[in-house]
């Protein structure tokens, strides 16, 4: 595979006096220093007790080679771009070398998976190398995903395949530019080895190229890190972990105490509620909202079988494992977010000593989600605000129409900004009024007279409502274009990048990533990347539904 040229240029054009090679960074390990370690150092699958993590080094690979590099992330960290695809950066970020000052570990956590208690889970294929203080003075952890077995790997090999690694690398960055709280990705490294996976769990395993993503976040601690201590009545360890998180990531709350723990939980509820509104805003479906995949900081974490709504359907899930129950479907995400913070509350009861403050704090989740979602819908429709029952009915009727025929959510909102709202629009014939939205429809059913009549009637109500705000059309369009992305990481685009990269061509990945850095801009030279999903991709593996297979 040929590494992208952008990963190897020596000059980023932005001035790099503050950037240093990766080995020259100063690494810190506050998580390791503050929390109880597993006293057993044998790297074999086992149940671990009374510990927050196990010290373990990555497993070396045959031929690490840099495939992709995120310049914005490296500049944030103060790291200069590598000059060689197989140099020291590839050796470190591919798991072959641990730099001085790094103390790698795998975290211990538990969780509810698809609503059922799963017991110990932990970092089965993720290894945190160390922490760095970035250019902005914030602390970030560097974590390798796919770096080999840990005591939490159970029967797995601790590796990741190229397709899942590319998807995580691309989506981490795409979500950031959409304005969604997320972990980031610094690098993508090919291992030079194959990994055997049964992509759809249908008895057809095959060898695939392996890869490792370096993920970056202030913390990778999840709800499940607290759940495991509470479940096994490790109350001292539970308190130490909570105190550490508050000290490092919520210092404004003050010295830990029962009252502070309750306020901290309320802040987690707010962040999680806001995150759910962000996901709904851009049509993102996580696919695996287990409690071990919920960030304590309210970040999108663990990109597995995710997807974006194309045809609007609240019951859609990209996860084949969830095809029967659809627990984690798009429309269920807000209520699952609430279910998950309730599970965290249960784990924190020993710290607070009383359920009442935690139950009171839970209200912040619903309030935050509702406030953010309502504001978001107003922005997406170009209103100054949503007001009253009439607006609620307008919104509900819109979603009903979008579901009545296969309608691309991203394109519908983007094209809605182009519907004229001047007085003459009211007298336009139905077909002319609906015309700006035509490219959002997948189905010919959208053009039958009954649906055209219903949609045109809704558009006339919408136009009347827009004019109540007395906002000029150009200002409405600007507001809507800031709220409604034109470009999202559709699964078929990610799959095209994967297919090309497997053949040694990184140009598709580079182009898509460049466009996704400006998802709200028109970028007319890349118009085809904003079109609805092509018909050939409707059922193609990797372009529609996916499994949890890595």
Could you give the dihedral angle defined by the CA atoms of residues 147, 152, 342 and 183, in that order, rounded to the nearest 10 degrees?
-10
Residue 268's alpha-carbon distances to 15, 338, 501, 542, in angstroms, are 37, 11, 38, 33
Residue 11 has pLDDT above 80, yes or no: no
> How sure is the predictor about 6, in pLDDT bands with cuts at 50, 70 and 90?
very low
């590839």: which residue's tokens? 90
For residue 206, the tally of other CB atoms under 10 A from its CB is 11
d(CA 313, CA 329): 9
Of 525, 522, 544, 523, whose CA–CA distance to 533 is shortest? 544
Q: Are 455 and 437 in contact (CB under 8 A)?
A: yes
Same domain? 418 vs 340: no
Give yes or no: 430 in active site: no
Report pLDDT for 201.
Answer: 75
Q: Is residue 416 part of a domain?
A: yes
Residue 433 has pLDDT above 60, yes or no: yes
d(CA 27, CA 525): 42
Give the three-state DSSP class for 160. Answer: coil
Same domain? 358 vs 414: no
Q: What integer is the mean pLDDT of 510-526? A: 98
Sequence length of the chain is 550
Same domain? 257 vs 343: yes
Among 38, 57, 123, 292, which one carries the catalytic annotation? 292
Q: Is residue 357 part of a domain?
A: yes
* Number of domains comprising the chain: 2
Q: Is residue 13 part of a domain?
A: no
Report pLDDT digits (tens) over 62-112: 999 999 999 999 999 999 999 999 999 999 999 999 999 999 999 999 999
Same domain? 345 vs 292: yes
Q: Which of 423, 444, 470 is the last residue of a domain?
A: 470
Report pLDDT for 427.
Answer: 67
Same domain? 242 vs 368: yes
Same domain? 375 vs 263: yes
d(CA 260, CA 252): 10
d(CA 97, CA 88): 8
Percent of the chain with pLDDT over 70: 96
The DSSP 8-state label assigned to residue 293 in this structure reads G
Q: Is residue 9 part of a domain?
A: no
Same domain? 261 vs 345: yes
d(CA 441, CA 532): 8
Q: Is residue 364 part of a domain?
A: yes
Name which residue leads in pLDDT, 421 or 55. 55
Q: Are 45 and 123 in contact (CB under 8 A)?
A: no
Q: What is the largest CA-CA distance in the chain?
A: 77
Q: What integer is the mean pLDDT of 503-507? A: 96
Give the three-state DSSP class for 271. Answer: helix
Q: Is residue 264 part of a domain?
A: yes
Report pLDDT digits (tens) over 122-161: 999 999 999 999 999 999 999 999 999 999 999 999 999 9
Q: What integer is the mean pLDDT of 23-27? A: 97
The answer to whether the Cα torsion of 487, 543, 308, 173 is positive or negative is: negative
Q: Are 43 and 150 in contact (CB under 8 A)?
A: yes
Same domain? 350 vs 431: no
Report pLDDT for 550.
Answer: 54
Q: Are 359 and 269 in contact (CB under 8 A)?
A: no
Report pLDDT for 198.
Answer: 84
> How sure is the predictor about 9, in pLDDT bands with cuts at 50, 70 and 90?
very low
Same domain? 344 vs 442: no
d(CA 245, CA 330): 30
The token duo for 539 is: 């059922």
Segment among 186-190, 425-429, 455-459 with least mean pLDDT: 425-429
The whole-chain average pLDDT of the chain stands at 94
14 burial type by CB count under 10 A (0-12 exposed, 13-18 middle, 19+ buried): exposed
> How sure is the predictor about 283, in pLDDT bands with cuts at 50, 70 and 90?
very high
Same domain? 354 vs 404: no
Same domain? 387 vs 426: yes
Report pLDDT for 426.
Answer: 62
The token duo for 227 is: 């759940």
Q: Which of 380, 405, 427 is the last residue of a domain?
A: 380
Residue 298 has pLDDT above 60, yes or no: yes
> How sure is the predictor about 547, in pLDDT bands with cuts at 50, 70 and 90?
confident
Q: Residue 265: which domain range? A: 234-380
d(CA 171, CA 300): 10
pTM: 0.95
> How sure is the predictor about 428, in pLDDT bands with cuts at 50, 70 and 90?
confident
d(CA 276, CA 210): 32
Segment among 145-149, 202-206, 257-261 with least mean pLDDT: 202-206
Q: Is residue 84 part of a domain?
A: no
Report pLDDT digits (tens) over 381-399: 999 999 999 999 999 999 9
d(CA 517, CA 501): 20
Q: Is residue 463 part of a domain?
A: yes
Q: Which of 320, 352, 380 is the last residue of a domain?
A: 380
Same domain? 439 vs 376: no
């Amino acid at each position: 595979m040929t590494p992208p040229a952008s990963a190897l240029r020596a000059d980023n054009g932005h001035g790099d006096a503050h950037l240093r090679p990766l080995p020259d960074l100063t690494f810190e390990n506050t998580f390791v220093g503050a929390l109880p370690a597993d006293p057993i150092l044998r790297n074999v699958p086992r149940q671990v007790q009374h510990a927050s993590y196990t010290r373990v080094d990555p497993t070396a690979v045959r031929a690490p080679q840099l495939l992709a590099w995120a310049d914005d992330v490296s500049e944030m960290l103060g790291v200069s771009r590598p000059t060689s695809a197989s140099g020291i950066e590839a050796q470190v970020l591919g798991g072959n070398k641990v730099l001085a000052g790094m103390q790698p570990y795998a975290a211990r956590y538990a969780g509810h998976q698809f609503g059922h208690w799963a017991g110990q889970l932990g970092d089965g294929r993720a290894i945190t190398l160390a922490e760095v203080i970035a250019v902005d003075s914030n602390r970030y952890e560097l974590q390798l995903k796919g770096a080999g077995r840990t005591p939490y790997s159970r029967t797995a090999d601790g590796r990741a395949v190229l397709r899942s690694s590319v998807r995580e690398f691309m989506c981490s960055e795409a979500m950031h530019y959409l304005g969604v709280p997320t972990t980031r990705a610094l690098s993508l490294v090919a291992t030079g080895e194959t990994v055997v996976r049964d992509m759809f769990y249908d008895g057809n395993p095959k060898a695939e190229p392996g890869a490792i993503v370096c993920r970056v976040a202030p913390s990778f601690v999840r709800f499940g890190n607290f759940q495991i201590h509470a479940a096994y009545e490790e109350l001292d360890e539970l308190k130490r972990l909570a105190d550490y998180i508050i000290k490092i990531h919520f210092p404004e709350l003050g010295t830990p105490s029962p009252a502070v723990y309750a306020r901290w939980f309320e802040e987690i509820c707010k962040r999680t509620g806001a995150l759910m509104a962000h996901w709904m805003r851009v049509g993102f479906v996580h696919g695996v909202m287990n409690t071990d995949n919920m960030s304590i900081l309210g970040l999108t974490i663990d990109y597995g079988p995710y997807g974006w709504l194309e045809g609007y359907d609240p019951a859609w899930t990209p996860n084949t494992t969830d095809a029967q129950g659809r627990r984690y479907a798009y429309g269920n995400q807000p209520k699952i977010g609430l279910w998950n913070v309730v599970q965290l509350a249960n784990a924190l009861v020993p710290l607070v000593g009383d359920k009442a403050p935690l139950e009171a704090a839970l209200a912040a989740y619903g309030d935050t989600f509702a406030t953010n979602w309502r504001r978001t819908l107003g922005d997406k429709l170009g209103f100054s605000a949503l007001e009253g029952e009439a607006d609620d009915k307008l919104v509900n009727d819109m979603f009903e129409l979008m579901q009545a025929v296969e309608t691309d959510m991203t394109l519908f909102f983007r094209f809605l900004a182009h519907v004229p709202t001047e007085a003459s629009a009211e007298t336009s014939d139905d077909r002319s009024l609906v015309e700006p939205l035509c490219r959002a429809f997948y189905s010919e059913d959208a053009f039958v007279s009954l649906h055209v009549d219903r949609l045109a009637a809704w558009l006339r109500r919408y136009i009347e409502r827009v004019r109540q705000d007395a906002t000029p059309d150009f200002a409405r369009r600007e507001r809507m274009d800031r709220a409604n992305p034109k470009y999202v990481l559709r699964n078929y685009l990610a799959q095209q990048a994967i297919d090309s990269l497997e053949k040694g061509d990184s140009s598709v990945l580079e182009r898509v990533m460049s466009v996704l850095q400006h998802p709200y801009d028109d970028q007319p030279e890349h118009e085809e990347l904003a079109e609805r999903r092509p018909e050939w991709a409707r059922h193609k593996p990797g372009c529609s539904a996916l499994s949890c297979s890595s």
